[in-house]
Each structure stands twice: as structure tokens, then as C-alpha cells.
């Protein structure tokens, strides 16, 4: 598994994110915009979106619960634990 497996572009769909989270078997993705980190996306964010009747075809950028408090230090810790 590579650290790049954890990154997803904000223009990808919620369904794409669900598939990627399932593939990596972790609970978080790092959202990018033009190859720059912008936020985290968790499986819980996606569950809340679905419960609010959000469309699976919507882009990740539309999620209101994207967290922007993660640092590159946290990403480095995750990478070391792969």
C-alpha cells in the first residue's frame, strides 16, 4: 500500500470515495485540489451525507463535513504505519 492510495481529488464522487475507502480498508482519505491537500474525508462523513439523502454521484467538494485540521505531520505518521 502506498500513501498515494489515501489521496482523492475533491472532484471525484462520493461513490468513488466509498470504493477507495473500502479498497484501502482504512477509515480516512485525504482530499486534494490540484494536487494540494485540502481536507480529510472519513467514512463517518460519508454515512452522514447518505443519511441526509445526499447523492452518491455528488462531488466530494459538496460535503459539508470535510475536516481541515489535519497536518502533514499526521500524514507522515500514517505513512510510517503502512
Q: Positive or negative, the Cα torsion across 33, 39, 40, 45? A: negative
Per-residue pLDDT, averaged over 14-41, amounts to 92
Please state, rounded to an integer, the average pLDDT across all residues of the chain: 86
Instruction: Identify the three-state secondary structure at position 71.
Output: coil
Q: Are 70 and 30 in contact (CB under 8 A)?
A: yes
Range 3-77: architecture per CATH:
Roll (3.10)
Domain range list for the chain: 3-77
* 32-67 pLDDT tens trace: 988 888 888 999 999 999 999 999 999 999 887 665
The model's pTM is 0.77
Amino acid at each position: 500500500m502506498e500513501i498515494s492510495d489515501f489521496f482523492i481529488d475533491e472532484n471525484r464522487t462520493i461513490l468513488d470515495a466509498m470504493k477507495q475507502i473500502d479498497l484501502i480498508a482504512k477509515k480516512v482519505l485525504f482530499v486534494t485540489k490540484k494536487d494540494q491537500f485540502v481536507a480529510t474525508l472519513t467514512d463517518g462523513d460519508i454515512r452522514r451525507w447518505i443519511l441526509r439523502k445526499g447523492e452518491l454521484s455528488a462531488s466530494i467538494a459538496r460535503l459539508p463535513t470535510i475536516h481541515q485540521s489535519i497536518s502533514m505531520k499526521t500524514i507522515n505518521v500514517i505513512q510510517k504505519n503502512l
